[in-house]
A = this chain, B = another copy of it.
Amino acid sequence: MTNIHAPEVLISEVGPRDGLQSVKATMPTADKLRWIDALAAAGLREIEVASFVPAQLLPQMADAAQVVQHALRHTGVRVMALVPNLRGAQAALQAGAQKLTLPVSASPAHSMANVRKTPEAMVEEVKAVLRLRDEMAPGVPVEVGMSTAFGCTLQGLVPEDDVLRLAVLLAEAGVDEIGLSDTTGMGNPAQVSRLFKRMFQEIGPLTGAAHLHNTRGLGLANGLAAYEAGVRTFDSSLGGLGGCPYAPGASGNVVTEDLVVMFEAMGVSTGVDLHKLMAARAPLKAGLPGEPLYGMTPEAGLPKGWV
């Protein structure tokens, strides 16, 4: 059933970064590398492989540079790294990252709690990263994933006008892609559709990925709404990795396996081989024994006759 024409959507696998950042156990580097190899073999064309944060804050990411350097061997994969600030960006570019992504919160409350900066101060940080990029690696795209764009557990409602205003500021700053993240899983399809349509109106082709969580099971429905609104890049993580250890399932990313099934069954080509994608669960499980993984497709098995 895998569609053989050119991929129409980009599945951006964020498990090695967003997923791992949410689990307690530290995954051994060798397992991370095997996992990334398996993801690349499955046809994923963009993988967020690491976060460049101080190792003392997040031991899980102490091997970020090594992981980036390894991933670069996969010529069909764009190797992406999350960087929270200028220092992280410098380290990521030095390691050879091919795309940077910065989180900027739409909610001031979340922004202060997360990075101790207002959203406006983060825009200044993004500008500094863009200047650095222009010096160090002019061709490397810089993306912003706008956190809490659909609601914030600290602030509550996030006004849609705030999201759009911030998006315009970031576009004016020169950011290459601006995506919207449902960090807290509060988004619903009507809202996802509305906000992304406004994004396309305001910033056009700079509109980036839909980064959705499956907190209350709405992940794929929200993804469908984003697709219908024109979004063509979707963040997701293998096995929905990223669930909070204290509330299983509460915070996991959209499950890559189910997302690929949805698009391919709709006739929308992802470029991902579902059989090989399922096989990529083995190194993930090996590296994180006992960690709960999600996904209905892995439970049910592939659809009969899927090629």
Residues of A within 8 A of B (CB): 153, 156, 185-186, 188-191, 214-218, 220-221, 223-225, 247-251, 255, 258, 261-262, 265-267, 295-297, 299-301, 303-305
**A24 to B303, alpha carbons, bound, how many Å?**
24
- Residues from chain B with a CB closer than 8 A to the CB of A214 are 296
Smallest beta-carbon distance A106→chain B, Å: 17
Contact residues in B for A225 (Cβ distance below 8 Å): 224
B255 touches A224 (CB 8 A): no
Nearest-CB residue, chain B, relative to A214: B296
User: What CA separation (Å) do A305 and B157 show in the bound complex?
Assistant: 10
A297–B216 Cα distance when bound, in Å, is 4
Q: How many identical subunits does the complex contain? A: 2
Top 10 closest pairs, chain A to chain B, by CB: A217-B258, A188-B265, A217-B296, A249-B299, A190-B266, A250-B300, A220-B221, A216-B297, A221-B224, A221-B221
Given A247-B300, A249-B300, A300-B247, A295–B217 Cβ distance below 8 Å?
Answer: yes
Please indicate which of the listed interface residues A224, A262, A267 has the most CB atoms of chain B within 10 Å of its own CB.
A224
